[in-house]
Every structure is written in C-alpha cells, then in structure tokens.
Amino acid sequence: MAAIETIYVGSDATSKLLEYVASKGLTRFCIVADTNTYKALGDHAEAALKAKGYDVKSVVLTGNEIHADEHHIVKTFVEASTGDLTFIAVGSGSITDITRFVSHRSGRPFIGMPTAPSVDGFTSIGAPIILAGVKTTLTCQAPIAVFADIDVLANAPQRLIAAGFGDMIGKYTSLADWKMGSLVWNEPYDADIARRTKAAIDSVVANADAIGKHTPEGVRVLLEALIESGLCMLDFGASRPASGAEHHASHYWEMQRLKHHGASMLHGAQVGYALTLIAAQYAKVRELNRAEALNRLEGAVVPKREDELALIRQGYSEMADDVAKDHHAFLNLDDASFDALKHRIADHWSEIEAIAASVPEPSVIAGLLHQVGGPATANELGLVEGEEAPGLEYGHYLRDRFSVIKLSRILDVPIV
C-alpha cells in the first residue's frame, strides 16, 4: 500500500502545494470542489497553479448538499479531464470521498486540501459511498499528499468544527466495540493502532475549549487528530479502528434522511450524538455482574434467520437484500456457532467489563459536545420523533462486525 508522501498543516498551504507538484514533475490537475469550498480555497489554488503555467480544470459541484453518491460521482467523472493528471480534492468529507473514488477507479492519484476539520477520512483508503441508498465503504486509495491551510480551517463554520470533534470522540466506542469484537468474534486487532487512536481522542478532549473557540491551535490539534485517525485506518487497511455502533446508527439516520427528506445531517454531528446513546448502552452493560451475565447467556438462543431477515426488510425495505448480503455471518449462525459465541463472551467477561468501564458516561460525552458547540440531544441534532430508535435497532445490520448492540441483544439488555 502506497504511503502518503507529504502531510502539511500550517499557513499558506497553497505555496507548499506548488513546491510539492514542482518537485514531482506534476503538470496537469483537476480540482474537485463545491461552491463553498471553491470560494474558500479552490479558486485560489486554481489561480496559483495556472500562474505557474499548469493545465488546470475545476469541477465545481453545485447544490445545497453534496453527497458521495452516484449522481455526484458520475458528474465528476463526466466533467473531469481525461488522460494523465492529478486530482485535487478541495473540501471536507463528501468532496474527498468523491475524489478518492473517481481518482482510484480512473487510475489516477489525488491530493487532499481540507477546508474544514469535519471528518477523519482525509488520509484513509475507504470511501463511504451511498449506492442505491445504502451507505457502503469501498476500498479506494489514500491521497499522495495533504495540504491543510490552518487559516482556512480556523475560519470554517463552527458546526463543521464541532462535527469533526464529534467524529473524533466517537472513537471511544469504536475502540470498545473493536476490542470486544477481537475477543468474541475473532476480528483482526492491532493494539498499537488502538493506542494511537486513543491518543488522538485524548488530544482533542484536552483541547476542547480551544476547539470550541476555533482558535488556530485548537483547530490544528483537531485536524491532526483526524489525520492520525485516518492514518490508523490506512495502516490497518480498514475502517474498524474508527467505526463502531455509533457510526452504524449515524449511517442509518443518513440513509433514511436522504430517502425521505433528500437531505441529511452532518456526519460528525450524527456520530457525536450517537456516541451518547452507545455510551448509555455500555453503561447498561456495566450494571451487569458476572453471575447475571452468565445467567442471561445461559438463556440466550440463536436468532432465527427468518426473523432477522424480517427485521432487515422492516428497516431497509427495498434495500434489504443488499444489507442482508453484507450481514451473512450473523444471519448464518447455527446452534453450534452461537453456543461457541456465548462461551467466548463468558470466557472474556472480565475483559468485557473492563472495556465497558473505558467508555465515558453519556453526560460526560454530552458536556464535551456542548463545549465545542455541537449537538448533544436528538432535538439539537434535528432528529424528529420516531427517527432516533431505528438507528440503534437497524443500524448494526449495515456492518458484519460485533458491537455493544449485538452483545445487548444476546444478553437481552434493552436497547436505549
């Protein structure tokens, strides 16, 4: 897997971009941006590149909301120049994911120029793409370089900065789910990557006040943590270190919002609020002592495949077949494999207790989100009555991974 050659976070990132492309002999470029990010940085980068005599084409995506979906991917493919060139993603999450996908599938590299510290995907290989209404993370490629202008980032809207903070602290439960999955579901695990991710969480929590005031130093800490999270995913080769039950709920809300309203909420804002719910679920697990957990395991029976498929159809309607296909390992559990799973949970119960204890209380999470100006309640996020619970009830079907939601279902712990 190719390494990212250069990561720069500082003032006058465009000058650093010019130095880099000159050193690499790159001369043809396609900038991908939306109307806001083009004004914030794209037009400046385009003018600077053209002033050096480079061939530059800009694809500026229009509309109130830009999503990494079939429409915007095809539009970018159609409008981008052909032949050898380097894409430059000028924007945040969706713009980066669109550019990552298009550049990878067309066999060309891309450079990232973030305009807001709102997501952790700038340096990862995964592109969360909405295909036929289903949020699917596809393996693509990392950028060859990232140039982040701290002055542009510090002037990003506060809601985008708060979203990045929410996405970052969402790793509290991502890491908890991942560790638990390694113990009871035999998921690949890397302790060093988990340590690096936890250090990145700690850095943003320690600087929450500065991030809330969007000081240049606070925003720098946030972006560097998000970049580190992306590098952890890059080094691990999958999104598992940074995506657990909190992301599953967020993905479900996004899919349903787009389906029924044609618009969604900010990914990181959704993740931050979902974190409060998943933290509450871990709090319920903490209330179980070993004897009670073992008693609940004794009475647990394997979920019937037809019942699970009915729930998937109920939650996803016409998207159900695609969702079920990705959930095959859980759908195909038989009595023997379910008993083996229960035994692993029992054998590792003391470790599961320690994992649950590592997750902060929901009130602590809510306090941090409010400190940076982010939503910490369903109403603040924009969820209406009836939208919240399905994210927890159906979101876990989106990924073939273990989580506290799956543990709660096995132990018959009510889902918050």
The per-residue pLDDT for range 310-365, each reduced to its tens digit, is 999 999 999 999 999 989 899 999 999 999 999 999 999 999 999 999 999 999 99
Q: What is the pLDDT of residue 261?
A: 82
Q: Is the pLDDT of residue 87 over 80?
A: yes
What CATH number was assigned to the domain covering residues 6-156?
Answer: 3.40.50.1970
65: helix, strand or coil = coil
Please report which residue ranges of 266-361 form alpha helices under DSSP H.
267-286, 290-299, 305-316, 320-326, 328-331, 335-347, 349-357
Mean pLDDT over 32-59 rounds to 97
Q: Is the pLDDT of residue 67 over 50?
A: yes
Q: What is the pTM of this model?
A: 0.93
Q: Count other C-beta atoms under 10 Å from residue 400's C-beta.
A: 15
Q: Is the pLDDT of residue 286 over 60?
A: yes
Please identify which residue in the block is written with the tokens 């933290």: 279
Q: Count other C-beta atoms under 10 Å from residue 192's C-beta.
A: 10
Contacts of 60 (CB under 8 A, 6+ apart): 33, 34, 35, 38, 42
Contact (Cβ atoms closer than 8 angstroms) between residue 246 and residue 170 = yes
Q: Where are the domains of the chain?
A: 6-156, 171-187+244-411
Contact (Cβ atoms closer than 8 angstroms) between residue 147 and residue 223 = no
Contact (Cβ atoms closer than 8 angstroms) between residue 242 and residue 171 = yes
The whole-angstrom separation of Cα 284 and Cα 102 is 43
Q: How confident is the model at residue 263 (pLDDT cuts 50, 70, 90)?
A: confident
Residue 125 Ramachandran class (φ > 0 left, ψ -120 to 50 alpha, else beta): alpha
Residue range 3-19, pLDDT digits in tens: 799 999 999 999 999 99
Q: What is the pLDDT of residue 1?
A: 46
Residue 414 corresponds to which tokens in the numbers above? 């009510």
Q: What is the pLDDT of residue 2?
A: 58
The whole-angstrom separation of Cα 260 and Cα 255 is 9
